[in-house]
Amino acid sequence: MKFIVSSTYLLKQLQILGGVINNSNTLPILDNFLFDLNQRELTVSASDLETTMSSVLEVDSDNEGTIAVPAKLLLEILRTFPEQPLTFVVEDNNTVEISSNHGKYALAYADGSEFPKSVELANPSSTTILGDVLATAINKTIFAAGNDDLRPVMSGVFFQFSPENLTFVATDAHKLVKYQRTDITASKVAEFIMPKKPLNLLKGILAGSETDVVIEYNESNAKFSFENTILICRLIDGKYPNYEAVIPKENPNKLSISRTQILSSVRRVSIFSNKTTHQIRLKIAGAELNISAEDIDYSNKAEERLTCSYQGDDMQIGFNSRFLVEMLNNLTSDDVQLEMSLPNRAGILTPIDGLDEGEMVTMLVMPVMLNS
């Protein structure tokens, strides 16, 4: 088995696939890339059993064969090469020899047949979505997903497809984000929970991409196909909580303000808040928003006054500043609206501008009890 490939082209593809490989694997074979050569096409795969990703590369060859090559070692050597053709030759003594312009390097390979086979999806449904739209949907929601192993359903992003729209939701019970597109639809209703790791991989590859991504899914797995790459992952098993029930419908108190202004203010004031609760207080009266924080143990306190546009009753409400900062950071609009009903009910944060046609973002943040 022999093939010739450009060093930078190979490195670029392997760095993407390398994101799948865990630092510590239960099966030693998973520390390798699977190279499957079929004449001019080399399919390279990486897997951690839950997620498998493969890319098809064009190489110069007329051979066929399958080997598993140590991923870490191969990436380390490829990073040191300037752009040049590399020749890979599989020798009889279980090593693969790489020849560059300046030298030869031999590394031991494993039998490709030991590598886990990727799952075939039985009777999948499918939806097509633009790469950049999918990356945006992941980006807007994934930060709000939980990290609690006891509640695995909340550690992923909930995909809800219907003939009306596509909806992506993430929550950790303190904050919730719902991202919706009415300009893209699916042929039939489907719901599944995607784990974070494959979503982070997709987000990195697809940001800014004008390529169509075909998403196929069934009860247990999802498959994303685009350009020369396929990613298959196991879905999180379980029923997603009824998130619609926690979004308050009647919110008479509406505050509109510049996003960067409230973000910098919350950041500054929160430096003086209690280090365990991160609690800040929002006091709204007329067109004035007063943001304050106090750490009684250390006698630290801060207060800022901002002008805003407000309709509703005067009120005071407490929030965890970290959640508020995360949400405001994740939005790209110039102005935001915060809708509230009572100090013990969730606040709803939405962007006022900067959205595409058919795009909706709703963020919900739970309040914290204020000690008067």
pTM of this structure: 0.93
**Rg, C-alpha atoms of the chain:** 25
Report the pLDDT value the prediction gives residue 30, as an integer from 0 to 100: 97
Residue 296 is assigned to a structural domain of this protein: yes
pLDDT for position 3: 98
DSSP 3-state assignment of 61?
Answer: coil
Percent of the chain with pLDDT over 90: 96
Residue that is last in its domain, among 54, 83, 114: 114
Q: Which residues pair with 35 in a beta bridge?
A: 44, 67
The one-letter amino acid code at 310 reads Y
First to last CA, the chain: 75
> What is the CATH number for 134?
3.10.150.10
- Whether 6 and 106 map to the same domain: the answer is yes
Per the domain annotation, does 120 fall within a domain?
Answer: no
- Give the model's pLDDT for residue 372: 60
Residues 252 and 346 in one domain: yes
Residues 229 and 258 in one domain: no
pLDDT of res. 371: 73
Q: Is the pLDDT of residue 334 over 70?
A: yes
- 149 and 82 within one domain: no
Partner residues linked to 20 by β-bridges: none
CB 339 within 8 A of CB 149: no
pLDDT at position 74: 97
- Average of per-residue pLDDT values in the chain: 96
170 and 263 together in one domain: no
Q: Does a structural domain hold residue 208?
A: yes
Confidence of residue 220 (pLDDT cuts 50, 70, 90): very high
**Domain total of the chain:** 3
Domain, as residue range, for 342 = 248-368
Residue 29 lies in a domain: yes
In a shared domain, residues 156 and 173: yes
| pLDDT tens digit sequence for 339-350 | 999 999 999 999
Residues 218 and 233 in one domain: yes
Task: Give yes or no: residues 333 and 269 share one domain.
Answer: yes
| Domain identity same for 358 and 287 | yes
User: What is the tens place of the pLDDT at every residue in 250-295?
Assistant: 999 999 999 999 999 999 999 999 999 999 999 999 999 999 999 9
Domain membership flag for residue 119: no
Is 51 among the domain residues?
A: yes
Q: What is the mean pLDDT of residues 331-357?
A: 96
78-111 confidence digits (pLDDT tens):
999 999 999 999 998 999 999 999 999 999 999 9
pLDDT of residue 370: 84
Q: Are 122 and 75 a contacting pair, CB within 8 Å? A: no
Q: 215 and 275, same structural domain?
A: no
Question: Does residue 358 contact residue 182 with C-beta atoms inside 8 Å?
Answer: yes
Closest to 358 in 3D by CA, of 118, 161, 164, 72: 164
What distance in Å separates the CA atoms of residue 369 and residue 372, rounded to the nearest whole number? 9
Digit-coded pLDDT (tens) for 130-185: 999 999 999 999 999 999 888 999 999 999 999 999 999 999 999 999 999 999 99
The last residue of one of the domains, among 92, 114, 136, is 114
Q: Are residues 77 and 57 in the same domain?
A: yes
Work out the pLDDT band at 20, boundaries 50, 70, 90: very high
Nearest by Cα to 315 from 349, 284, 280: 284
- Residue at a domain's end among 244, 259, 284: 244
**Does residue 191 sit within a domain?**
yes
Residue 41 lies in a domain: yes
Between the CA of residue 350 and those of 176, 237, 262, what are the distances in Å?
12, 30, 14
Phi and psi of 300, rounded to 5°?
Answer: -95, 135
Same-domain status, 206 and 269: no
Residue 286: partners with Cβ closer than 8 Å, 6 or more residues away: 310, 314
What tokens were used for 184?
A: 């893209």
Main-chain dihedrals φ then ψ at residue 33, nearest 5 degrees: -90, 140
